[in-house]
Structure 1
Amino acid sequence: MSTNGINKALKLQFGLINHESRYLTAEAFGFKVNASASSMKKKQIWMLEQEDQDGQVVFLRSHLGRYLASDKDGKVSCGAEKPNSDCRFLIVAQSDGRWAFQSEPYTRYFGGSADYLSCFAQAIGEPELWAVHLALHPQASLLSVARKRYAHLSASEGEISVASNIPWGVDSLVTLVYAEGKYSLKTCDSRFLSNDGKLVKANAPATAFTLELKSGKLAFKDCDGKYLTPMGPTGTLRSGRCSKPGKDELFDLEESHPQVLFQAANKRFVSVKQGVSISANQDVETDMETFQMEIDKESKKCMFRTNGGTYWTLVSHGGIQSTATEVDANTMFDIEWLGRRVALKASNGKYVCTKKNGQLSAVSDSVGDDELFLMKLINRPMLILRGENGFVCHHKNSNTLDSNRSVYDIFSLLFSDGAYHIKSVGGKFWYVSSSGLVCSDGDKPEDFYMEFLEHGRVGIKGNNGKYLRGDQGGTLKSDAADSDSSSLWEY
């Protein structure tokens, strides 16, 4: 998928649900496939690959990196390490949003139930129809392919406007809410986009869209069979007149990086308002004081991008400026997580400090007051957590939280002097019990600490100094001494 150069377009990963509400599953043993699972975990996630941008042929790759295939007799397998002619399928989208998969070489349709899957049907019936459940993290930036602009909440106009050159600030966060095979678009202030372009408080038929795929891009079809499109000079997002998606109706989902503010020991915000030098000299929070935090996948070091598209960089004599247009060693910083505050270490091995005039400079050998910063995450007012076994969700019959669900609950994230309070769906707060269980029915807020440790992953520490992790039974606990795959969360 193409990108507008800010972030990478997300590869489409999803679960496929058959007519019996069971997910297509790839088993490690014998590379067999079935449709027996009632929820979406790792084995039920598929990635769609396309031969080329404009071609209609697709390949379905399992979590094991193997490709779904069908032979001339309709026998289905999923053991091919590279896509061959038997792996070629065409998507036949239906009016209700479900997909049928047709073998391109043999023209038969793929379907069935439980262990009885085949690709031999000559026509599309109920057993050949699959609902699409996106498996990527549901919070993203939405890019219009035609306009090359990002969607953002225009609160003054009460609409979603596709007019941003870059997805900056909390207004550019879109949350996809999945229910009964359809998707709704939720804004950062918890309103839903209706097909007439208005924002409403409650989910309704007019806010539910089916996903369609064309040339690797997404289209959103409403209850009347029309597609979302940006309209007019401000790019108001609403359903147009088209009953077939063209370029104007196509979108990319892009990863939404964390965006943060820094407050120095002088109580002022770090800013680029004064030019290229990075200084803590502002009293208000604007785009000039907001920085996108991008974590390098290999080194786990951090880069800070300004809203002008440049990066913080170390210059001679230890100064920090916003002059870098490319990522290199001098744009990389280590973050030390110190409870309510952070310290930043530059590539020269020195800590970043705030000078008397507010300018930032990497000249310190140790951490004192001048090297401490309060860091505030601004673009996740709604928190959705996904771990290695699934999403975090309220437990049905108790005050605990599950960490292995295929559906997600949306929690509120409230900032409190370098810590965060997490509010449950019912208005109660998260807290850690004496036995280390994370509970969701607290009357008063308790501090949690967020550490952005890897690309797209956050570690969360409870008040007991332990990281949150999902245990073997799927219960959320605060009992991990170190961060590992069980205690890192997509957010």
Structure 2
Amino acid sequence: MAGEELKYKFGLRNSAGKYLTMESFGNKVNSNGSSLKTKQVWTLEQDNNFVFLKSHKGFYLATDKNGNVSCDSDERGEGEKFEVDVQSDGRWALKSVPFGYFLSGLGDDRLTCSAKTIGENELWMVHLAIHPQVCIKSVQRSKYAHLEDGELRFNEIVPWGSDAVIAMVFHEGRYALQVSNGKYVSLDGTLVDSIIDDARYVIAFKEGHLALRDNNGCYLTPAAGNGAVKKSTKSSIGKAQYLLLEDSAPQGVFYASDGRLASTRQGADVSANQKKGSPEEGEFSDKEIFQLEYVSDAERWAIRTVENEYWFLANSSGIQAKAGINPKTDNSAHFQFEYVDGKMAIKASNDKYIFTKPAGHLYATSTSVAEKEKFTFECINRPLLALKSSHGFIASRGATKLECNRSNYDMFSVVFTEAGYTIGKGGSYWNVDPADKNAILLGPSPAPFSLEFQGRSKLCIRAPNGKYLKSEQNGIFSASADEGGSANTFFEF
């Protein structure tokens, strides 16, 4: 669900540009990975000042007294302990705790742990393997970062709207923080148009938390008062510098079949009785915006309000929202989404569909889906979107071709229309190739796509030809699947 801290998964790239790799068979570990895929992903586990590196197979990286490197134990022992020495350029040196030697990637896929000093072979660049679009929480303030009045401020109790979605952009071994208007956060708190050196940060970990070190060797620290990022003078990591990265759940508005917006303005009842305003006056208020949270154990959805309330099925079969509900344990707050012709049908915990009464009240008593049971969900917190398939990121190759197995992502702009979402980049838009009817290309005219949320941070995308987008290991990205729901039709957002 939303608010769950992300596990810090990453790749480690040596000075020869190769990634530390755990092979799928034979428990072999080497440094010959050419890009960041599943075999190159490691999970950081911390224990006081020590770290353990866990492979995608669940085994821990280990060394012995002779400098041999292995990865075949699913338990943490002395040989699995490392210390991280973060260098000024952001690279890590990994020192074996029991033996005092550094891990070396020699450029010919060999690994040893026998170096007494740090040289180029002992330096590893950290490349986060999480989805780049996250919410960032200050541990000490217990508040989230968002864009406000031209600043990144840690002062939001619930990360609400597109301004609370931050992109962690990997750039030359460091990370830039890209906010919702496309700008980057510089070390003095100003927003800049490009990734200058003062807008790049080194990642460090302490006590299970992440911290960001700027170009001056100081750590990003929310200021007292409004929590704005200002030029820091802190050259050490304390609780004021601890940050958490969390999944950013989809947020948006529900349109009933008559075009009115679902809202909690009227109190406990959730009613579709609000008109969309003009862009100048604000098209909708926070009370018309809802967050979709996937409850993994129940394989159902919870719907959260800005007041930290949840939709639930009342005894009257009406839909209400109230505080104090725990969707992990309360079945009345569980909903299923079914997609019909680009619309969403919502089934409550009584296995009945929600429909809109003439006055706008929502009730779950329908046994089938007609027009009044269909809702349109407009996602509002992804005006910029990065997508990851099971084979890699979606990115362009050349002027028009899109591929789904890239190690780096493109950030696409997303615009909602009555027909669907248009997805584009630099004045070009996603289209289905008219020649083979399948391949997704960048073209001059926008085409409508449908987004179908399928689980935690996953969605399926339906193309204008009625097919679902599909990813293949060789990079082919096509609108060729008859149904969504398989691994190659899921895209992480």
When normalised by structure 1's length, the TM-score is 0.95
Does residue 182 (structure 1) correspond to residue 174 (structure 2)? The answer is yes
Match of 1:433 in 2: 433
* Separation (CA, whole Å) in 2 of partners of 1:418 and 1:90: 54
Contact 1:161 1:236 in 2 (8 A): yes
Match of 1:249 in 2: 241
Does residue 151 (structure 1) correspond to residue 145 (structure 2)? The answer is yes
Match of 1:420 in 2: 421
2:77 to 84, 100, 110: 84
Contact 2:2 2:293 in 1 (8 A): no
Does residue 142 (structure 1) correspond to residue 136 (structure 2)? The answer is yes
Matches within 5 A, 1:23-422: 23-51=19-47, 55-113=48-106, 114-154=108-148, 157-284=149-276, 285-323=284-322, 325-327=325-327, 328-396=330-398, 399-417=400-418, 419-422=420-423
Alpha-carbon displacement from aligned partner over 1:375-429 (angstroms, at most 9, x marks no partner)? 1001111110111111111124x622111111111011111116111112x3101
More deviation, 143-152/461-470: 461-470
Instruction: Report the residue type matching 1:93 in the other structure.
Output: V
Contact 1:381 1:414 in 2 (8 A): yes
Match of 2:281 in 1: none
SS of aligned partner of 1:267? coil
Contact 2:270 2:320 in 1 (8 A): yes
Contact 2:430 2:440 in 1 (8 A): yes
- Following superposition, the deviation at residue 123 of structure 1 comes to 1.3
Match of 2:449 in 1: 448
Contact 1:469 1:478 in 2 (8 A): yes
Contact 2:49 2:83 in 1 (8 A): yes
* Separation (CA, whole Å) in 2 of partners of 1:465 and 1:238: 49
* Separation (CA, whole Å) in 1 of partners of 2:326 and 2:26: 46
Contact 1:400 1:437 in 2 (8 A): no
* Separation (CA, whole Å) in 2 of partners of 1:102 and 1:302: 44
- Following superposition, the deviation at residue 321 of structure 1 comes to 0.6
RMSD of aligned residue pairs (Cα, Å): 1.4
Contact 1:15 1:24 in 2 (8 A): yes
Instruction: Report the residue type matching 2:365 in the other structure.
Output: V
Contact 1:309 1:325 in 2 (8 A): no
- Following superposition, the deviation at residue 436 of structure 1 comes to 3.8
* Separation (CA, whole Å) in 2 of partners of 1:472 and 1:166: 38
SS of aligned partner of 1:146? coil
- Following superposition, the deviation at residue 242 of structure 1 comes to 1.0
- Following superposition, the deviation at residue 213 of structure 1 comes to 1.1
Match of 2:13 in 1: 17
More deviation, 362-371/80-89: 362-371
* Separation (CA, whole Å) in 2 of partners of 1:86 and 1:281: 63
Instruction: Report the residue type matching 1:315 in the other structure.
Output: A
Identify unmatched segments of 5+ residues in structure 2.
Answer: 277-283
* Separation (CA, whole Å) in 1 of partners of 2:66 and 2:248: 44
Identify unmatched segments of 5+ residues in structure 1.
Answer: none
* Separation (CA, whole Å) in 2 of partners of 1:436 and 1:175: 33
Identical-residue share of aligned pairs (%): 40
* Separation (CA, whole Å) in 2 of partners of 1:212 and 1:471: 35
SS of aligned partner of 1:86? helix
Alpha-carbon displacement from aligned partner over 1:319-366 (angstroms, at most 9, x marks no partner)? 111025111221111111112321111111211111122111111222
SS of aligned partner of 2:469? strand
* Separation (CA, whole Å) in 2 of partners of 1:6 and 1:411: 23
Contact 1:6 1:166 in 2 (8 A): no
Per the alignment, do residues 477 and 6 of structure 1 end up closer, same or farther by CA in structure 2, a change over 3 Å counting? closer
* Separation (CA, whole Å) in 1 of partners of 2:338 and 2:26: 46
SS of aligned partner of 2:12? strand
Does residue 480 (structure 1) correspond to residue 476 (structure 2)? The answer is no
Contact 2:433 2:441 in 1 (8 A): no
* Separation (CA, whole Å) in 2 of partners of 1:23 and 1:74: 19
* Separation (CA, whole Å) in 1 of partners of 2:441 and 2:168: 23
Contact 1:340 1:417 in 2 (8 A): no
When normalised by structure 2's length, the TM-score is 0.95
Instruction: Report the residue type matching 2:13 in the other structure.
Output: I
- Following superposition, the deviation at residue 232 of structure 1 comes to 3.2
Alpha-carbon displacement from aligned partner over 1:29-49 (angstroms, at most 9, x marks no partner)? 321111112211111111111
SS of aligned partner of 1:230? coil
* Separation (CA, whole Å) in 2 of partners of 1:472 and 1:18: 25
Contact 1:159 1:198 in 2 (8 A): yes
Instruction: Report the residue type matching 2:59 in the other structure.
Output: R
